[in-house]
């Protein structure tokens, strides 16, 4: 039972716009992050519905993200899937109910498992750019301070008031990810396991924020995904999160000291000025595009393993 969200209108619109009844009940949901919407080329008999035609969905305003729901069949068993091409973030000004709406619609269509992809910054040199991190846990400061999608009155009587998240990331699906990487002959370091830190952004982290997250036990950081994970767990879906590392978070061991530089300058000594790098959305998109094919193959193979269970 749901309280007040336009699920019925959305589902009716979908069944009207997707003529293949086999696609009305997708079993697998996929959320495509920055630069990763090429996943749609894995789908057969694909039907794309712009979010603008679906009540309850907003428009993704982020460069590099599309704004459509795609229905189709994936893999050798033609497993029916629905994919969100582009997602919503709180930093765009969207409320948690909008950010998580797609996940809740997936559940109402019949989805059992969700694969959520994203772009993330690495907090450790052990996880270089290009690695795909299979998320095993998350650290979500916003959830701890009132921005959880579960915060406030319950929107369904079926959601638990106190949602457990100690088992949020499905061991079954994570196992499939590593089996899929093996089947695809990926090198051992193509996939890692790690903890995802959720920040609301949209500014990238300062050095001390990066250090804080690393010291808190996180390996990668990003601005999406966790509201969707929380909603998926409320909806009793099995979840896997695949984070593509698109950049190293800049965490210098030492700061440039302007005080020391001025002293040296006044003493007539030569001055070394270390350059501090910066993160950029262009870099995030470029790595996303470069690695989209690897992510696409991985997701397709995971779908095969799910469908042959």
Chain residues binding ligand HPA by CB under 6 A are: 119-121, 199, 201, 204-205, 221-223, 246-247, 249, 279, 284
Token code pair at residue 122:
């690495």
Beta pairing, strands 132-140 & 191-198: parallel
> Minimum Å distance from CB 75 to ligand HPA?
28
Backbone torsions φ then ψ of 34, nearest 5 degrees: -50, 120
- Residue among 270 and 278 whose Cβ is closer to ligand HPA: 278
- Residue among 131 and 247 whose Cβ is closer to ligand HPA: 247
3-state secondary structure of 221: strand
- Residue among 56 and 207 whose Cβ is closer to ligand HPA: 207
Cα distance between residue 163 and residue 80, in whole Å: 29
Cα distance between residue 104 and residue 159, in whole Å: 11
> Minimum Å distance from CB 195 to ligand HPA?
14
Of the candidates 202, 199, 196, 200, which has an alpha carbon nearest to the alpha carbon of residue 62? 202
- Residue among 67 and 247 whose Cβ is closer to ligand HPA: 247
Q: CA 149 → CA 90, 96, 163, distances in Å?
A: 11, 5, 11
Cα distance between residue 192 and residue 188, in whole Å: 8
- Residue among 37 and 247 whose Cβ is closer to ligand HPA: 247
> Minimum Å distance from CB 279 to ligand HPA?
5
Cα dihedral 279→281→287→291 (10° resolution): 130
- Residue among 51 and 204 whose Cβ is closer to ligand HPA: 204
> Minimum Å distance from CB 175 to ligand HPA?
26
């Amino acid at each position: 039972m749901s309280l007040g969200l336009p699920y019925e209108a959305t589902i009716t619109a979908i069944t009207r716009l997707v003529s293949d009844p086999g696609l009305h009940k997708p079993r697998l949901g996929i959320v495509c992050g920055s630069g990763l919407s090429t996943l749609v080329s894995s789908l057969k008999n694909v039907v794309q519905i712009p979010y603008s035609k679906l009540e309850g969905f907003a428009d993704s305003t982020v460069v590099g993200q599309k704004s459509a729901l795609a229905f189709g069949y994936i893999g050798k068993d033609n497993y029916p899937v629905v994919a969100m091409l582009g997602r919503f973030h709180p930093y765009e000004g969207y409320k948690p109910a909008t950010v998580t709406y797609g996940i809740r619609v997936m559940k109402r269509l019949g989805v059992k498992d969700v694969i959520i992809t994203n772009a993330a910054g690495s907090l450790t040199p052990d996880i270089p750019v290009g690695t795909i991190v299979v998320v095993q846990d998350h650290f979500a400061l916003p959830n701890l301070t009132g921005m959880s999608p579960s915060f406030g009155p319950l929107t369904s009587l079926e959601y638990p008031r106190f949602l457990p998240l100690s088992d949020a990331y499905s061991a079954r699906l994570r196992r499939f990810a590593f089996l899929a990487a093996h089947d695809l002959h990926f090198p051992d370091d193509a996939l890692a396991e790690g903890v995802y830190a959720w920040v609301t952004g949209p500014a990238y982290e300062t050095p001390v924020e990066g250090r804080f997250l690393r010291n808190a036990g996180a390996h990668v950081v990003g601005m999406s995904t966790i509201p969707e994970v929380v909603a998926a767990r409320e909806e009793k879906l099995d979840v896997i999160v695949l984070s593509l590392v698109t950049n190293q978070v800049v965490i210098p061991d030492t700061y440039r000291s302007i005080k020391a530089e001025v002293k040296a300058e006044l003493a007539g000594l030569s001055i070394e000025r270390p350059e501090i790098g910066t993160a950029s959305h262009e870099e995030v998109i470029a790595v996303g595009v470069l690695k989209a094919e690897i992510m696409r193959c991985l997701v397709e193979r995971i779908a095969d393993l799910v469908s042959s269970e």
